[in-house]
Amino acid sequence: MAALAESGSNPDVDLLYDINGLAKEAPHWFDRVMEFVGEYGLLLAMVLLILWCWQGVRRRGGQEAAPSVAALVWAPLAAGIAVLVNVPIRGFVERPRPFVDHQGLDVLVTGKTDYSFVSDHATLTMAMAVALFVANRKFGLIGLGLALLEGFCRVYMGVHYPTDVVGGFALGTAVALLLSPLATALLTPLTKAMERSPRAGWLIRARGARAAEAVIPGARADATAEERDLAA
């Protein structure tokens, strides 16, 4: 991977210079905004988006509240697991940051001494976005947009190659999707137990929200038979 970065004629490096070149032409204040957005802002926005979706689930209540909250809890957990998976990947690839091997980049964030592949920020945001998309399509699409913007910001800031970002997107997506069934199976019983708890129930369903209907096996079939008898 490091050999790929040595040549300025490969598409990865060309795209790096094209995107980072926008930072050189932009006003100083805009670069400062992009620095904050790319380093902290989009991660915070993703967390707030998940919390917003959670509030909507609580207000709606109903039978799907507990499974929906379980799916939302998986979003930050998936991000954390994906970053942990990235630790040995970074150590194995050992790709230096782009500003180490290439001159003339406008680096907006200093002090980056760790390896470049894959991008933690891209991994975090995409893992949360994909898990959120599984839980709620509308909010998930917004999350995917934020993740793509995060990837652009990391290259714009001069701290990652485009392939670092693509690798982060792939890693975050893989962890969020592949482990989602197992996570749902483990988390849903927990959220259902919380829903029944007098102290923790507010985390699943807001006060005044529609309660989950108790389903009694065979009750609906008996009701249907009774309805037919009455109709006769």
Question: Under a CB-based contact definition with an 8 Å cutoff, are residues 162 and 19 in contact?
Answer: yes
Provide the token pair at 208: 């005044």
Residue 63's pLDDT is what? Answer: 84
Residue 59's pLDDT is what? Answer: 87
Rounded Cα distance between 117 and 165, Å, is 8
Nearest of 119, 131, 93 to residue 1 by alpha carbon: 93
Residue 196's pLDDT is what? Answer: 87
Rounded Cα distance between 98 and 115, Å, is 10
Q: Enter the pTM of the model.
A: 0.83
Rounded Cα distance between 205 and 211, Å, is 8
Each domain of the chain, given as residue ranges in start order, spans 2-231
Query: Which DSSP string do the residues of 74-118 spell out, in sequence order?
Result: HHHHHHHHHHHHHHHHHHHH-PPPHHHH-SS---SS----S--SS
Rounded Cα distance between 155 and 56, Å, is 34
b/e map 121-158, b = 16+ CB within 10 Å: bbbbbbbbbbbbbbbbeebbebbbebbbbbbbbbbbbb
Residue 35's pLDDT is what? Answer: 93
Digit-by-digit pLDDT tens for the chain (232 residues) are 444 444 446 899 999 999 999 998 899 999 999 999 999 999 999 999 999 999 998 888 778 889 999 999 999 999 999 999 999 999 999 999 999 888 889 899 888 888 999 999 999 999 999 999 999 999 999 999 999 999 999 999 999 999 999 999 999 999 999 999 999 999 999 999 988 888 888 888 877 666 655 444 444 444 444 444 434 4
Nearest of 144, 148, 149, 124 to residue 133 by alpha carbon: 144
- Judged by DSSP in three states, 138 sits in helix
Long-range contacts of 217-225 (CB under 8 A, 24+ apart): none
Rounded Cα distance between 55 and 104, Å, is 46
CA 16-115-42 angle, to 5 degrees, is: 65
CATH, domain 2-231, list 1.10.10, 3.40.50, 1.20.144, 1.20.50:
1.20.144
- Judged by DSSP in three states, 210 sits in strand
Rounded Cα distance between 57 and 109, Å, is 38
